[in-house]
Amino acid sequence: MQSGLLVGLASLLPTACSPVAPAHPEDAVVIGALLPFSGSESAIGRNLEQAMLLAIEDLNAAGGLEGRPLDLRSRDSHSISERGFEQLLELLYTDQVAYLVGPEENELARDIASDVKALDVFQMLPGYAAPSIARNERRGGRMRLAPSPFEVGCALAMTAVSEDIDTANSLAARDDYNASVSSEFTTHFAALGGRILPSVTFTSGEQTYTSKISSAFGARAGRTLLAAYPATASTIVTEWTVSGRPGTWFLGPALRTEVLLANIPTGSLDGFFGVSPSLSLRSECQIEAGAEEKVDCTTGNAAAFISHFSRRWDDDAPLPAAHFYYDGIVLIAMGLAYAQATSGTIPSSGHELQSIVRELNSPDHEAASWRDLKTAMAKLRAGIPLRYVGAAAEYEFDDYGASTHYFMQRWTIDDGDFVDLAPISLACHAWK
């Protein structure tokens, strides 16, 4: 299993496992995390942990929870389901964490769902490939921060229409995330008046994908969505290039990574379009009315977080996903602080904490920025409800605990580099 979070400059990241953990304060409120420190996804694990450790430091500098510090306890998923599942069980049953971040791997998140519910644990899911949340539970509480496959598929379909594409299909991996992105793309494209041609699926890890490529492009679609993780996608793109580059691609969020570009023939994907989460705040984006709707977003908030992260971690750059992991820790802490102020105790029930975090992030509440957590935590400790303006987004959650996104970032590849294009406003929520 490969993660959907390989986005950013992998060359900037150390590949070593998490260092030996310092002693944990006895009175700390512990948040558990499962991250890929080894295996095929080891390049991203440390970067995501750094984002969470930075959040812990910022929150503790802001006073913690009535003087009690927060602490992070990380375990290694090994980038695979079997060993990762064992580590998840250790977090839940040995470490007995009540608040869990991750895992990044979709299958692991799905496999542990019954334990999360049985133990009434709170689970924050910042990863792009996290399972969808589409129902209420009476025990356990899950929250999803990154755009859903529904929103990704919508953005891809709207991009296709804006490019006057009449027909489309997909070449998609059979894992939960990529299969969902493919399904949502074709559904939205058909709803917008496009014609769907036969799509092709495959299992990651095959020796060759030549026949799959031939079948997908044999349909002669105006665009073919490549829904896969980078390791597999690089093999597909290389074999597609050797076969003469038939047809044209759309590229999903997991493919905005230097790992992909470093492992395909130079320039082979130049000119093709993709989408990924926008790190601009909703308030930083304006829709310009006219003959053709255009979106203009500034990037000051994301740039400030990148600078904050880089100063702390020796000029390392955060992966775009790291913004969501930082926010995941802060959202948990905000919920705990507010609950403590209003009820006298921090909730151990995941279901209760999920309800509190959703309630806090009502658009009616005063905004609190990650840039001034000292003020935010002081107000929460005084029982004042605040909504969170984070490093990745201004958060607003649906009834199930999934964050709602209103914009996605469009991009292309030019001369072997990723180039941002105008963001796109999502109209899909009105279709639900």
Q: In the prediction, which pLDDT does 381 show?
A: 96
To which H or E segment does residue 176 belong? helix 176-191
Contact 159, 192 (CB under 8 A): no
Query: Which range among 15-19, 78-82, 143-147, 204-208 has the greatest average pLDDT?
Result: 143-147
Is 1 a residue whose pLDDT tops 60? no
Is 431 a residue whose pLDDT tops 60? no
- Banded model confidence at residue 19, pLDDT cuts 50, 70, 90: very low
Contact 31, 73 (CB under 8 A): yes
CA angle 236, 238, 242 (to 5 degrees): 115
Is 26 a residue whose pLDDT tops 90? no
3-state SS assignment for residue 58: helix
Is 78 a residue whose pLDDT tops 50? yes
Q: In the prediction, which pLDDT does 11 show?
A: 33
Q: For residue 235, give Cα distances in angstroms to 206, 265, 271, 368.
A: 10, 10, 19, 45
Q: For residue 319, give Cα distances in angstroms to 148, 323, 423.
A: 18, 7, 19
Rounded to a whole number of angstroms, the CA Rg of the chain reads 21
Q: How far apart are CA 351 and CA 222, in angstroms?
A: 46
3-state SS assignment for residue 131: coil
Find the distance separating the first CA and the last CA of the chain, reported in whole Å: 31
Q: In the prediction, which pLDDT does 3 show?
A: 38
Q: How far apart are CA 394 and CA 408, in angstroms?
A: 14
Average pLDDT of the chain, as a whole number: 90
The DSSP symbol for 92 reads: I
Contact 331, 395 (CB under 8 A): yes
Overall average pLDDT of the 411-426 stretch:
93
pLDDT over 90 for what percent of the chain? 75
- Banded model confidence at residue 16, pLDDT cuts 50, 70, 90: very low
336, two tokens: 């705990």
The dihedral of CA 53, 59, 62, 68: what is its sign?
Answer: negative
- Banded model confidence at residue 130, pLDDT cuts 50, 70, 90: confident
Query: Which range among 82-86, 110-114, 332-336 has the greatest average pLDDT?
Result: 332-336
Q: In the prediction, which pLDDT does 105 show?
A: 79
List the single range of 12-16, 180-184, 362-366 with lowest mean pLDDT: 12-16
To which H or E segment does residue 276 belong? strand 273-277
Is 291 a residue whose pLDDT tops 80? no
Is 8 a residue whose pLDDT tops 60? no
Q: What is the pLDDT of residues 132-180, one digit of tens each?
A: 887 777 889 999 999 999 999 999 999 999 999 999 999 999 988 899 9
3-state SS assignment for residue 76: strand
Is 257 a residue whose pLDDT tops 50? yes
Is 215 a residue whose pLDDT tops 50? yes
Overall average pLDDT of the 32-59 stretch:
90
> Helices 300-312 and 42-61 sit at what angle, rounded to 10 degrees?
90
Q: In the prediction, which pLDDT does 15 show?
A: 37
